[in-house]
């Protein structure tokens, strides 16, 4: 396969390159391919990719809330540009979307076909990207993932360990739950998915839904900081509203024979890969 990966220097972009070693891959970082630049994106039609995995996005949820214009420019209109490229060169598109398209109020796990209702600009801008994909293309995969962390990335587990190194104790919310997803597991599943030809909407997350508090505890424990004091709290002020509990069913993914390991395995692998393990 000839695979174009947008956002090549991001957590998922890098994990994808590691999995795609046997394929022909072009994975430019933002400095070489800004997805908001339509002309630059469309010139890649000449490279004739078979598959485009669109991993570039403005992922800072609070940053999106504070600069909605930028969030929609990158996540919605940038995706439109990548969709137009896929149209132009007849490539399949895999668009990486988010659990934040849901409001987290369902009280039960979300099906892939449940109606979205984003609470924040990030979720709304990623959903706008889904609409461009769904309305303009026939051959696409929408892969919604959640709480992604990978080696070398800026992510929640890294923040927890860095803060724990600076402060005598930390507090974490028990009122926000989702699926922590390890970028290398996600990348492996995406590469399997784009080889199925079974186009549609997928939830691609590690097994198990947990809270920020439980995840932080697991990360600290895995890094050998079992005695570090972590206090459970129920609210934390921040610019963006985030969903309370987004548990995702993975019915369409399992139907094509793909499953990700439990999130705790991802934490163990991440801690080891980052050299935090004891």
Ligand X SMILES: NC(=O)c1ccc[n+]([C@@H]2O[C@H](COP(=O)([O-])OP(=O)(O)OC[C@H]3O[C@@H](n4cnc5c(N)ncnc54)[C@H](OP(=O)(O)O)[C@@H]3O)[C@@H](O)[C@H]2O)c1
Annotated active-site positions, please? 122
Nearer to ligand X, 6 or 120 (CB): 6
Q: If DSSP codes are grouped into helix, strand and coil, which group holds residue 200?
A: strand
Q: How many CB atoms lie within 10 A of CB 242?
A: 22
Report yes or no: 132 and 104 within 8 Å, Cβ to Cβ. Answer: no
Residue of 1, 19, 23, 34 that binds ligand X (CB under 6 A): 34
Is 10 a binding residue for ligand X by CB under 6 A? The answer is yes
Separation of first and last alpha carbons in the chain: 40
Nearer to ligand X, 158 or 225 (CB): 158
Residue of 148, 194, 209, 248 that binds ligand X (CB under 6 A): 148
Residue of 1, 2, 23, 30 that binds ligand X (CB under 6 A): 30
Footprint of ligand X on residues 46-105 (CB under 6 A)? 55-59, 74, 78, 96, 98
- Both structure tokens of 3: 């695979």
Comparing CA positions, the residue from 12, 85, 79, 21 lying closest to residue 50 is 85
Nearer to ligand X, 9 or 87 (CB): 9
The span of 34-42, 86-94, 160-168, 255-263 binding ligand X (CB under 6 A) equals: 34-42
CB of 10 to ligand X, least distance (A): 2
Site string for ligand X, 150-179 (x = CB under 6 A): ---x--------------------------
Instruction: Give the ranges where 67-209 is alpha helix by DSSP (H).
Output: 68-71, 78-89, 121-136, 156-166, 183-193
Footprint of ligand X on residues 181-200 (CB under 6 A)? none
The span of 10-18, 110-118, 168-176, 195-203 binding ligand X (CB under 6 A) equals: 10-18
CB of 126 to ligand X, least distance (A): 6
Residue of 36, 134, 175, 196 that binds ligand X (CB under 6 A): 36
Comparing CA positions, the residue from 176, 177, 187, 185 lying closest to residue 206 is 185
Report yes or no: 169 and 229 within 8 Å, Cβ to Cβ. Answer: yes
Q: How far apart are alpha carbons 252 and 112 in whole angstroms?
A: 7
CB of 181 to ligand X, least distance (A): 7
- Both structure tokens of 215: 């995840």
Q: What 8-state DSSP symbol labels residue 197?
A: -
Is 206 a binding residue for ligand X by CB under 6 A? The answer is no
Counting residues that bind ligand X (by CB under 6 A) gives: 27
Site string for ligand X, 105-134 (x = CB under 6 A): ---------------------x--------
The span of 9-17, 191-199, 232-240, 258-266 binding ligand X (CB under 6 A) equals: 9-17
Beta bridge partners of 230: 170
- Helices 212-222 and 263-273 meet at what angle, rounded to 10? 40
Beta bridge partners of 3: 25, 51
Q: Are strands 210-211 and 177-178 parallel, antiparallel or unpaired?
A: antiparallel
| Binding footprint of ligand X on the chain (CB under 6 A) | 6-7, 9-13, 30, 33-36, 55-59, 74, 78, 96, 98, 126, 145-148, 153
């Amino acid at each position: 396969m000839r695979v174009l990966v947008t956002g090549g220097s991001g957590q998922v972009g890098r994990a994808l390159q590691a999995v795609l070693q046997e394929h022909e891959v072009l994975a430019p970082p933002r400095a070489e391919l800004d997805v908001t630049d339509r002309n630059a994106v469309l010139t890649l039609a000449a490279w004739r990719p078979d598959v485009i995995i669109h991993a570039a996005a403005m992922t800072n949820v609070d940053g999106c809330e504070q600069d909605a214009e930028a969030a929609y420019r990158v996540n919605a209109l940038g995706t439109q540009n990548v969709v137009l490229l896929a149209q132009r060169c007849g490539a399949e598109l895999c668009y990486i979307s988010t659990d934040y398209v849901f409001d987290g109020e369902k009280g039960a796990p979300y099906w892939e076909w449940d109606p979205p209702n984003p609470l924040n600009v990030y979720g709304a801008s990623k959903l706008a990207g889904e609409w461009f994909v769904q309305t303009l293309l026939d051959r696409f995969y929408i892969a919604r993932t959640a709480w992604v962390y990978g080696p070398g990335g800026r992510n929640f587990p890294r923040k927890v360990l860095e803060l724990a190194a600076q402060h005598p104790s930390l507090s974490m919310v028990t009122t926000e739950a989702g699926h922590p997803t390890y970028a290398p597991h996600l990348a492996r599943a995406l590469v399997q998915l784009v080889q199925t030809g079974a186009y549609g909407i997928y939830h691609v997350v590690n097994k198990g839904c947990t809270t920020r508090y439980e995840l932080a505890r697991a990360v600290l424990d895995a890094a050998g900081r079992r005695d570090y004091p972590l206090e459970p709290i129920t609210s934390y002020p921040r610019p963006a509203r985030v969903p309370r509990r987004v548990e995702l069913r993975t019915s369409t993914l399992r139907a094509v024979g793909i499953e990700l390991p439990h999130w705790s395995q991802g934490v163990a692998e991440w801690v080891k890969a980052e050299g935090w393990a004891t």
